[in-house]
Amino acid sequence: DQQVKQNSPSLSVQEGRISILNCDYTNSMFDYFLWYKKYPAEGPTFLISISSIKDKNEDGRFTVFLNKSAKHLSLHIVPSQPGDSAVYFCAAPVNGELTFGTGTRLTIIP
C-alpha cells in the first residue's frame, strides 16, 4: 500500500512561472517529509524538508507547504528555471526507512 503518493507523473511549466508539485500521504504518524530532486543518470539529491509541526518551510526559490488535515504537501518553485527540469520525489521516514512517492517529472519550457 503506497503511503506516499504523487498522482501527477509529469508537469510542464513556462520558465519564470511557479511550479507546484503535489504529494499526498496516508500515514498521519509521519514526523517529517522530504523532497528529492533527480536528474537523468544521477542519484537523487536532497532538496528540502519539513517537520510535521510546521506548515511551511522556505529555502530560496523552494517552499514546501504542509496541510496536515488534508494529508497533503506541496513543493513550490518560484521562479522556475530550466535547471529545475528533473524528477521530484516526495518521501517520508518511518521506522528508520524512507518511503518514496513515484515521482513527478517537471519540465521547464524556455
Partner 1 sequence: NAGVTQTPKFRVLKTGQSMTLLCAQDMNHEYMYWYRQDPGMGLRLIHYSVGEGTTAKGEVPDGYNVSRLKKQNFLLGLESAAPSQTSVYFCASSQTSGGANEQFFGPGTRLTVL
Q: How many CB atoms lie within 10 A of CB 27?
A: 12
Cβ 48 to partner 1 shortest distance, Å = 10
Radius of gyration for the chain, computed over Cα atoms and rounded to the nearest angstrom: 13
Q: What is the 8-class DSSP label of residue 55?
A: S
Exposure string (b/e) for 29-66, b if CB count within 10 Å is 16 or more? ebebbbbbbbeeeeebeebbbbeeeeeebeeeebbbbb
From 16-24, 63-71, 72-80, 97-105, span contacting partner 1 (CB under 8 A):
97-105
Cis peptide, bond prior to residue 79, ω within 30 of zero:
yes
The residue among 41 and 110 lying less far from partner 1, judged by its C-beta, is 41
53 counts as binding partner 1 under rule CB under 8 A: no
11 counts as binding partner 1 under rule CB under 8 A: no
Residue in the block written with cell 519539513: 50
43 counts as binding partner 1 under rule CB under 8 A: yes
1 counts as binding partner 1 under rule CB under 8 A: no
The residue among 69 and 97 lying less far from partner 1, judged by its C-beta, is 97
Site residues (vs partner 1, CB under 8 A)? 6, 9, 31-32, 34, 41-46, 49, 51, 89, 93, 96-98, 100-103
